[in-house]
């Protein structure tokens, strides 16, 4: 088993059967020791964050599987804090696809002239480039198409898939009286099929979730959702 990539919150290993193993770490994104799901840097290490992230990811990917939504998920080992996934190639050097239900974070920083904090946004989808040195710039359908990252047809498919998955996560959280404000996904093309599939993880580290108007930290989110 060979480590092929060290990420901010996960390491990636190549398996002999052609699949990959994602090993979840306790590092979370943030700045100045404060957790921020929208940040580009590892802000701090929280004991148990990797395990909590994996548990939620396993839970949500299995919900998606039951609904026939294409993802890279094969299975997960909680004991080993790892998840086995199908090979997929990212679009360009990677995109972040955000689904927003309330105006907070970078949306508000950009469009605060036209939106108030917390305003409902009804599964509004935005795409940003994964590019730390350029602060993950937002990008339009036209630019993605022109730069050869994603065709307009694929963009529409990605947008619909994002809304579908975002709405599923939102409903799952709502069942626990938790409200989803926004969530960030990554997608890729499945190696065998070429279809657009959800990759990466679905955890507290990728979303902003609130209960009774209070932001829920990633570890607490796992406990509230999974009741353990």
Annotate each residue in 100-129 with x if it binds a copy of itself (CB under 8 A) or - if it does not, as one string: ---------xxxxxxx-----xx-xxx--x
Annotate each residue in 68-97 with x if it binds a copy of itself (CB under 8 A) or - if it does not, as one string: ------------------------xx----
Q: Within a 10 A sphere around the Cβ of 146, how many other Cβ atoms?
A: 10
Q: Which residues contact 213 (CB under 8 A, 6 or more apart)?
A: none
Nearer to a copy of itself (CB atom), residue 125 or residue 178: 125
Nearer to a copy of itself (CB atom), residue 77 or residue 140: 140
62 binds a copy of itself (CB under 8 A): no
Among 142, 160, 171, 195, binds a copy of itself (CB under 8 A): 142
- Cα angle 223-200-148, degrees, rounded to a multiple of 5: 150
210 binds a copy of itself (CB under 8 A): no
- Burial (0-12, 13-18, 19+ Cβ within 10 Å), 214: exposed
For a copy of itself, how many residues bind (rule: CB under 8 A)? 28
Contact status, residue 27 vs residue 9, Cβ threshold 8 Å? yes
Among 2, 79, 137, 214, binds a copy of itself (CB under 8 A): 137
Nearer to a copy of itself (CB atom), residue 65 or residue 110: 110
Q: How far is the CB of 41 from a copy of itself (least distance, A)?
A: 18
Q: Give the whole-angstrom CA distance, residue 47 versus residue 27.
A: 8
CA distance to 130, 153, 201, per residue, from 115 (Å) = 25, 29, 29
CA distance to 69, 83, 96, 192, per residue, from 24 (Å) = 23, 8, 19, 25
Radius of gyration of the chain (CA): 17
Nearer to a copy of itself (CB atom), residue 109 or residue 214: 109
Q: How far is the CB of 147 from a copy of itself (least distance, A)?
A: 4
138 binds a copy of itself (CB under 8 A): yes
Q: Within a 10 A sphere around the Cβ of 26, how many other Cβ atoms?
A: 16
Nearer to a copy of itself (CB atom), residue 76 or residue 99: 99
List of residues contacting a copy of itself (CB under 8 A):
92-93, 109-115, 121-122, 124-126, 129, 131, 134, 137-143, 146-149
């Amino acid at each position: 088993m060979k480590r092929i990539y060290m990420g901010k919150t996960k390491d990636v290993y190549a398996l002999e059967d052609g699949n990959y193993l994602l090993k979840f770490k306790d590092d979370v994104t943030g700045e100045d020791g404060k957790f921020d799901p929208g940040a580009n840097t590892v802000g701090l290490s929280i004991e148990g964050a990797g395990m909590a992230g994996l548990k939620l990811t396993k839970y949500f990917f299995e919900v998606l599987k039951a609904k026939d939504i294409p993802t890279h998920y094969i299975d997960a080992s909680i004991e080993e804090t790892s998840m086995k996934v199908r090979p997929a190639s990212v679009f360009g050097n990677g995109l972040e696809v955000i689904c927003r239900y309330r105006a907070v974070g970078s949306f508000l920083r950009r469009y605060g002239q036209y939106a108030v904090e917390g305003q409902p946004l009804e599964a509004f989808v935005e795409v940003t480039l994964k590019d730390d040195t350029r602060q993950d710039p937002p990008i339009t359908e036209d630019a993605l198409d022109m730069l050869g990252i994603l065709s307009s047809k694929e963009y529409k498919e990605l947008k619909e898939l994002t809304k579908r998955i975002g709405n599923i996560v939102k409903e799952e959280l709502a069942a626990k009286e938790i409200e989803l404000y926004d969530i960030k996904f990554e997608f890729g093309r499945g190696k065998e099929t070429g279809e657009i599939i959800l990759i990466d993880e679905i955890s507290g580290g990728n979303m902003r979730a609130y209960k009774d108007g209070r932001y829920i930290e990633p570890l607490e989110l796992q406990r509230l959702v999974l009741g353990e």
